[in-house]
Amino acid sequence: MPSSRRSTQEKDRPAPYHREYRRGKRLLVIESPEPPPVTYWSATRRPLPSLILVAPLILAYELGVIWLGGASSAVRTGADAWMRRGLSSVGMTDQWLPPLALVLILLAWQVCSPRNWRFSPSTLVGMVLESGVLAVALVGISRLIDVGFTFLDQHPPPTLAMDGASASTYAPLIGFLGAGVYEEALFRLCLVPVFFYTLKLLQMPQVLASALAVTGSALLFSLAHHAGTPGEAFTWYAFVFRWMAGVYFAWVFIVRGFGIAVGTHTAYDILVGWVGWQV
């Protein structure tokens, strides 16, 4: 009887949480009945806060495209238009398919990750502020790069989105919202992991695989702005800056998460392309 009562108590006891600590070469595992506290640093890297931050940008962009005249590629930003052309080639033409796919990817990522769903609302405020700070830092980086290209007569830093053709003064703003979401989704959320795990399968060391995945995705990001019908005329300044910006966004994505990468990209484009702010 005593052993039966003890087994019942053990069954009712909540499963312990495991915390791992590394001390030198030793890995210590400590069991605790309480979940570890969720810090701002760890919460911002989870998919759910990223989704909640990005969802209003997706909705504003899609509604803005409808307001500007529909789903034509002339209205949509570059990465969005490319993905939609690829989907339409296999018969998938629904306007809401790409944003729905992005939402489902982030939700599936959250479900598959071994982390809880709770976080403080103040986390979102911090993510917005951090995105603004990182965007201002990127403007400063663009000025440093500009110093090396003085022979180009001090061209202003380029925006990172494709220029769309529209008479509306709000069209660039709507385009910047779409560029921040879909360019980060394509070049960071998709390409960085694909490049990294492909290189890992080829037995490449992790550090080198990470560096090549970041650099390769950034190179494609820069080249994409000069490709296709709405492509920008090639200049070395714009190409090098966007390459460096692609590396910057990739490391923001890896270290700080998808949501802050989108926020930083969007904030930079709005500051430089719509507000016209420069340092």
**Predicted pLDDT of residue 221:** 94
- Using an 8 Å Cβ cutoff, are 59 and 66 in contact? no
**Predicted pLDDT of residue 80:** 84
**Predicted pLDDT of residue 236:** 83
CA distance linking residue 37 with residue 116, whole number of Å? 11
**Predicted pLDDT of residue 9:** 46
pLDDT (tens, 9 = 90+) of the chain, 279 residues, equals: 444 444 444 444 444 555 555 555 565 555 555 556 678 998 899 999 999 999 999 999 999 988 887 655 566 887 888 888 888 888 887 888 999 999 999 999 998 876 678 888 899 999 999 999 999 999 998 888 877 776 555 556 666 765 544 445 778 888 899 999 999 999 999 999 999 999 999 999 999 999 999 999 999 999 988 876 656 778 888 888 999 999 999 999 999 999 999 999 999 999 998 877 765
**Predicted pLDDT of residue 164:** 44
- Using an 8 Å Cβ cutoff, are 170 and 203 in contact? no
**Predicted pLDDT of residue 79:** 85
CA 87 to chain centre: 21
Beta-carbon count within 10 A of 149 CB: 16
Residues 231-255 as b/e (b if ≥16 CB within 10 A, e otherwise) read ebeeeebbbebbbbbbbbbbbbbbe
**Predicted pLDDT of residue 103:** 95
Structure tokens at 236: 């070395």
